[in-house]
Amino acid sequence: MLPEDFVLFRNVSLTDADTAGQTGVVDEPSVSNNGQRVLVTGNWYASRSLDNGTTWDYLSP
């Protein structure tokens, strides 16, 4: 995939409930998706969405 092929489908902010308040000034997020399923991780949390980022659930390790 070339840089000009990148497409941003949705840009959302996670709430404290989505991350169980486990965020900080340094976040270093990562994201992955498979169809409508999205996984977001940060330094201290993981959250998933099963509906293309409309709603989020905190994943407890």
CA distance 61 to 52: 22
What integer best gives the mean pLDDT of the chain? 85
Closest by CA to 42, choosing from 32, 51, 29, is 29
Phi, psi for residue 18 in degrees, rounded to 5: -70, -25
Taken as a whole, the chain contains a residue count of 61
Domain ranges of the chain: 30-61
pTM of the entire predicted model = 0.72
**pLDDT, tens digit (0-9, with 9 covering 90-100), for 26-54:** 878 898 989 899 999 988 899 999 998 89
